[in-house]
Structure 1
Amino acid sequence: MQTNLIQLRTSSNVTQKQLADLIEVDVRTYINKEQGISQFKCNEMFAISDYFKKDVESIFLPSNFMNREVYV
């Protein structure tokens, strides 16, 4: 789940529909991405970060990212 994005979106009074329109996907598709069912594409993450004028990593990386192991 994209908790940072959800918090930012709700605190900014931005709807899921608005962000779905921004990244040119259906609202249901956007909701699935926000809930972590499917992944955001790189261009979508950059569009959203530009919209909020925030760094991509501050929105999309989990707060404990550095404490997680990455499997390749």
Structure 2
Amino acid sequence: MHFQQRQWNLIRLRKERNLTQYDMKNLLNISKDAYGMKERGNAQFTMDEMFILSKYFDLPLEQIFLPRNFGVTEIKEVAK
């Protein structure tokens, strides 16, 4: 089973601002379980959700979200 990359930048931002997953799920109007899965990389954030979070944190998307295959390309390059 393949799991996506955890959203470490988002986790860091949330914790720096003393926000809980409950706070975040309310912001996005989704369940806490759904938010947790997305933060852990087991589900993908929608573009709408990413834009909401970008606006909320006042940061560009690329400073919050890691690419879906982050690490995979780097690992393949090392293996060559």
TM-score normalised by length of structure 2: 0.75
- Alignment match of 2:65 (pick from 38, 54, 60): 60
Relative contact order higher in (CA < 8 Å, ≥ 6 apart): 2
Match of 2:22 among 4, 17, 20: 17
Distance 2:36 2:66 in 1: 18
Could you list the structure 1 runs, at least 4 aligned residues long, displaced by more than 2 angstroms after superposition. none
RMSD: 1.8
Match of 2:40 in 1: 35
Q: Taking structure 1 as the reference length, what is the TM-score of the superposition? A: 0.83
Look up the SS of the partner of 2:41 in the other structure. Answer: coil
* Structure of larger gyration radius: 2
Number of equivalent positions: 66
Mark the runs of 5 or more structure 2 residues left unpaired by the alignment: 1-5, 75-80
1:40 is paired with a residue whose SS is coil
Unaligned runs of 5+ residues in structure 1 are none
- 1:60 match: secondary structure: coil
Q: Partner letter of residue 41 of structure 2?
A: G
Code of the aligned partner of 1:46: F
